[in-house]
Structure 1
Amino acid sequence: MALLVGTTQGLGINIVTANLPAIQGSLGATPTEGAWLLAAYYATSISLSALLVKFRFQFGLHLFADLGLMLFIVVTAAHLFADDLRSAVALRAAQGVAAAPLTSLAIVYMMNAWPESRRPTAVAFGMACSQIGVPLARVISPDLLQIGDWHGLYLLELGLAIICLAGVNLFRLPPAPRIMKFEWGDALSFALFAPGLGLLAVALSMGRYVWWTEAPWIGVCLALSLPLIGAAIIVELHRQRPLLDLRWLSSGEMIRLFIAIILFRIALSEQTVGAVGMLQTLGVQNEQLATLYWIELAAMLAGFTWIGLTLKPARPLTPLMFALLLIIAAAWTDAHATNLTRPAQLYVTQGMMAFAGAFFLPPAMLYGVSQAMARSQAHFVSFVMLFSAGQNLGGLIGSAFLGTFVTMREKFHSNQLTQGLTLADPQVAARVRQLAGAYAHTLSDARLRNAEGLALLQQQATREAYVLAYNDAFLLIAALATLTLVWILVLRLRIYVWRRRQARTAAQAA
């Protein structure tokens, strides 16, 4: 059941991300308009975690699972009748709400499938159930598109959701204590948090498409999101029983955990934005990427299995450092790509990235859960919100940051490459004539043939500029991962020194 529910949730957003060009074509939308499908999903899903966990504690797991899956089925079925962009964006926003309960449901099922002594294994495998949707969506989607364009993508998802609903009623989870209740103050806090985080998610999702300084509404979204989030924080700090324990979340260890989650998500965007984006720029289609995604899926499952069987909650930093070393090595190797690079040249490095991604999630989540449950269930709700927000914001920041960086570096390299291209150069003139020769049998006008040759040369220069820009992005990811590794090493050294002092103080007292 954990695998079934987690896979259904993972396919929800990733199957759209993997097939965005095809979906845009079906809806008659431009790339910028199609990006709203992703922005709408994140805008609604990013702020629901804390509210859903509290709902689960008050009304029980069974009602939580049934309502979540029924809403998911209704929204997924509605996608089959959406034929225009506006209705598709509205349904993607609803899908963000419907899919939010399924991640925690997969983890809860997995934790009940293992004994208490194997909780690290259960957490790791529960996270794996949701993460395998990333490569799996790209593997299966080319065949699904043949069924009925973008509607075909949702036929499988709808079937999985119906099976999930039957499954959760056949294999019910044991009842959990219901000790938390909603308060009127929760509604006010959520009414401030939700639009604040939603506007921030929209700005991060759309900024690189409409460009940050050319669309005034991006600034409006950012200008409104910060006061809303600030007002929600003020309300929470003055509540006797807040929805989120912000004083604990603002402690040093929780802030460091939040920063680590965001940094890791930015580094892992090398795989989803960097490598895939470069290959698509070079003309590689999803069908040609199937083997690469199978390798990523296998590496991810191997990583989750390894970390699940070896993770020690007392030492969460060790697997994080190992993951960072893999990311550094993979990004540095990818930074030497050329216009001849194809999926086969990325099998090893992208497998390393997928393996490293599996090493990051379970230690971070297990550490936070252990810290929260040692205090109270209210702290658990707060940590779930922190972890979910860090995951989503980290992914959005990583995509926005890396996509913006690639665009800027492409303009730089394109300027460097084209400023020396002049027909007065014999080599350039010969190259233009060579490219124009492809039109010798279709165009009799020599000037038109030369114009076509110049256009082809410009396309080649742009392609080279993009490859160089992606190489710069890979180097940047390697540098960021190196700085993160140094930071974690310093943290570990400080912990080691603190423990030595504590042991020395205890020995002196004895």
Structure 2
Amino acid sequence: MASAAPPAGQTKGQSGTRTANADLGAWLAVAAGTLGALMATLDISIVNSALPTIQGEIGATGTEGAWVATAYLVAEIIIIPLSAWLERLLGLRRFLLIAVTLFTGFSVLCGISTTLNMMIIGRVGQGFTGGAMIPTAQTIIAQRLPPHQQSIGTAMFGLVATLGPLLGPLVGGWLAENVSWHYAFFLNVPISALLIVLLVVGLPDQKAKLHLIRQADWFGIAGLALGMGGLTVFLEEGSREEWFASPLIQKMAIMSVIGFLLLAYGQATAARPVIKLRLLLDRQFGSVALMGVALGVVLYGTSYAIPQFLAAIADYNALQSGKVVLLSGIPSLLMMPLVPFLVRKLDIRIAVALGMGIMGLSAYMETGLTLESSGGDFTDSQLMRGVGQILGMLFLSQAVVQSVPAEDAGDASGLFNAMRNMGGSFALAGISILQQSRVWLHSRRLEETLNANAPAVQDYVTGMGRAVGNPDAGMRLLGQQIQGQALVMTYNDIFFAMSLVTIAVIPLVLFLRPLPRNASLAAAH
């Protein structure tokens, strides 16, 4: 005889016991976690399209302006592995309330910044506190929702995590063009106020466990901060400072070495290391982590490079650039309802190879840019990138959880997220290096093809001078054309490098194991 249907508001678990549906408080907590993750992921890229305007107002050069984006990512890399320990130390609600309050304060600091140093301090603070809200959102879903409803929370989080970085340039661009770039940061104030209310209502208070301070992997924490911070400065500033000829670069190199040695010491001696690097020794997880780095290179690299190109070459404003970046979110949004079906039916090796291949091809399609290129030239590649992104991010996130023991799932997720952000940080540093070195190289090569005494060159220069009514302006205009062509060629090199990185990791899919048929949907960021 068929078993009786469970009462309204309840469902039957696999063991036959009845599992109650989540109450209103639980869903308010999930809404709070999702809203916090949206705010944090939005602020990763909210400055990208408005960056040319911000640079002008705070007196930063193009290469220095990259720090406005990089500072946030580096701080996230450091805080994400620490989030689980801080949550246990302070209690989830108290930890999030502190993070949201500080995030608001640092957002205001960014909004009132008048110098590059002031902006970088604010962005580092945003990264530390905003990064804490991303993994804790997944914790809320796991703790506050019953198993049969966690897929709903996971889908909400997945949608937010995917669209946040894509909406950032559009929101920031609209505010920069219609209000002021300052409000790209002030926007966080009312959102944070709502988030605080949801946290207070939806999450129960938990007793702090301050004794855990004594058990912390302080060597690992210090090493992670010094190592990643020093390495990022080393990469960002090395080319401009002529590498080891600069005392700053020498100090950053020493700081990085000391940091990574401290991190290694913490790995060997701490009862619970700040980040379990030994997980990288697992064949499957190590492969997933390396592909996560490549994923970050393309995701964050293209969302930074495209607005910069359009502003410099096509004279796009921040809003126009933001609309181009958002195009890649359309396929992700349309494919999101298919996520459960894809996870069950599509082999992970095929899915990841296809996703990374599409992303690599989309970057390669952007290697043929010219001085006449505009936003329309990015339409096809951006739409393709959206398809590749949802396949790559979705299935790699599933592989993270399935490739390690259950007790290491939290550490693996934090390490994977940190590796992906590290890829983004490397991409921004690489873009800065290529902009400095390749523009100079291409300019010299173009100049070498021109003989100043050649009649054709003389006629061309004279003709340009006459066209603008100033015979002496011809040579200056020719120099501007050479610089413009060199800049376009440099961006072609940048997109080609991102394409190579993505294609190079595709063979790693051979180390992945198929997902179990009954695998639960893991949240992705």
Relative distance call for 1:360 and 1:57 in structure 2 (3 A) is farther
**What's the counterpart of residue 412 of structure 1?**
441
- Whether 1:49 aligns to 2:80 is yes
Of the candidates 380, 385, 403, which is equivalent to residue 348 of structure 1?
380
**What's the counterpart of residue 482 of structure 1?**
503
8 Å CA contact retained: 1:58, 1:178:
yes
**What's the counterpart of residue 506 of structure 1?**
none
How many residue pairs align between the two structures? 483
Moved more, 255-264 or 281-290: 281-290
8 Å CA contact retained: 2:284, 2:511:
no
Q: Which has the larger helix fraction?
A: 1
Q: Encode CA deviations 1:264-292: one digit per residue, 9 max, x unaligned.
A: 22244552244334333313322332442
- Whether 1:289 aligns to 2:321 is yes
**What's the counterpart of residue 21 of structure 2?**
none
Moved more, 28-37 or 284-293: 28-37
Deviation at 1:255, TM superposition (A): 2.2
Task: Give the alignment of 1:297-308 within 5 angstroms.
Answer: 297-307=329-339
**What's the counterpart of residue 343 of structure 2?**
311
**1:113 & 1:256 partners in 2: Cα distance?**
32
Relative distance call for 1:311 and 1:216 in structure 2 (3 A) is farther
- Whether 1:392 aligns to 2:418 is no
Of the candidates 362, 368, 382, which is equivalent to residue 400 of structure 2?
368
Q: Encode CA deviations 1:158-182: one digit per residue, 9 max, x unaligned.
A: 1111111122233337989999944
SS of the residue aligned with 2:46? helix
Task: Give the alignment of 1:207-226 within 5 angstroms.
Answer: 207=238, 210=241, 212=243, 215-226=246-257
8 Å CA contact retained: 2:177, 2:319:
no
Relative distance call for 1:80 and 1:266 in structure 2 (3 A) is closer
8 Å CA contact retained: 1:141, 1:153:
yes
Of the candidates 255, 270, 273, which is equivalent to residue 242 of structure 1?
273
**What's the counterpart of residue 68 of structure 2?**
37
Deviation at 1:99, TM superposition (A): 0.9
Deviation at 1:122, TM superposition (A): 4.9
8 Å CA contact retained: 2:111, 2:185:
yes
Q: Encode CA deviations 1:448-500: one digit per residue, 9 max, x unaligned.
A: x23x2111112112222222333333334333333322342x435xx69xx9x
Task: Give the alignment of 1:457-476 within 5 angstroms.
Answer: 457-476=478-497
SS of the residue aligned with 2:78? coil
8 Å CA contact retained: 1:5, 1:105:
no
Moved more, 90-99 or 144-153: 144-153
8 Å CA contact retained: 1:124, 1:308:
no
**What's the counterpart of residue 280 of structure 1?**
311
**What's the counterpart of residue 454 of structure 2?**
425
Return the TM-score normalized by structure 1. Answer: 0.83
Relative distance call for 1:25 and 1:291 in structure 2 (3 A) is closer
**2:315 & 2:144 partners in 1: Cα distance?**
41
Q: Encode CA deviations 1:22-68: one digit per residue, 9 max, x unaligned.
A: 22222234445444434443443321222221222344322222222
Of the candidates 318, 323, 330, which is equivalent to residue 355 of structure 2?
323
- Whether 1:91 aligns to 2:132 is no
Letter in 1 for 2:502: A
Return the TM-score normalized by structure 2. Answer: 0.81
8 Å CA contact retained: 1:124, 1:362:
no
8 Å CA contact retained: 1:196, 1:225:
yes
Deviation at 1:395, TM superposition (A): 0.7
Deviation at 1:320, TM superposition (A): 1.2
Q: Encode CA deviations 1:187-233: one digit per residue, 9 max, x unaligned.
A: 34312322222222333344455554564422421232123222222
Of the candidates 144, 147, 150, which is equivalent to residue 175 of structure 2?
144
Deviation at 1:123, TM superposition (A): 4.2
Deviation at 1:323, TM superposition (A): 0.8
Letter in 2 for 1:422: N
8 Å CA contact retained: 2:232, 2:429:
no
Moved more, 395-404 or 80-89: 80-89
Q: Encode CA deviations 1:74-119: one digit per residue, 9 max, x unaligned.
A: 3223444443443333222222222122112333455679763576
**What's the counterpart of residue 446 of structure 1?**
none
- Whether 1:25 aligns to 2:92 is no
**What's the counterpart of residue 20 of structure 2?**
none
Deviation at 1:156, TM superposition (A): 1.3
**1:338 & 1:24 partners in 2: Cα distance?**
25
Percent pairwise identity: 19
**2:113 & 2:330 partners in 1: Cα distance?**
34
**1:294 & 1:152 partners in 2: Cα distance?**
20
Deviation at 1:347, TM superposition (A): 0.7
8 Å CA contact retained: 1:121, 1:308:
no
**2:385 & 2:458 partners in 1: Cα distance?**
43
Deviation at 1:259, TM superposition (A): 1.4
**2:363 & 2:492 partners in 1: Cα distance?**
9
The unaligned stretches of length 5 or more in structure 2 are 1-30, 517-525
Deviation at 1:243, TM superposition (A): 3.5
Of the candidates 454, 469, 477, which is equivalent to residue 456 of structure 1?
477
SS of the residue aligned with 2:327? helix
8 Å CA contact retained: 1:122, 1:308:
no
**2:247 & 2:340 partners in 1: Cα distance?**
47
Deviation at 1:436, TM superposition (A): 0.9
Letter in 2 for 1:470: Y
8 Å CA contact retained: 1:47, 1:385:
no
RMSD: 3.4
**2:304 & 2:242 partners in 1: Cα distance?**
17
8 Å CA contact retained: 2:363, 2:381:
yes
Relative distance call for 1:162 and 1:355 in structure 2 (3 A) is farther
**What's the counterpart of residue 102 of structure 1?**
133
Letter in 2 for 1:218: I
Moved more, 130-139 or 400-409: 400-409
Relative distance call for 1:386 and 1:349 in structure 2 (3 A) is same
SS of the residue aligned with 2:187? helix
- Whether 1:164 aligns to 2:221 is no
- Whether 1:227 aligns to 2:258 is yes
**1:289 & 1:38 partners in 2: Cα distance?**
16
Letter in 1 for 2:38: T
8 Å CA contact retained: 2:109, 2:122:
yes
8 Å CA contact retained: 2:73, 2:424:
no
**What's the counterpart of residue 511 of structure 2?**
491
Q: Encode CA deviations 1:280-310: one digit per residue, 9 max, x unaligned.
A: 3313322332442342232332344443552
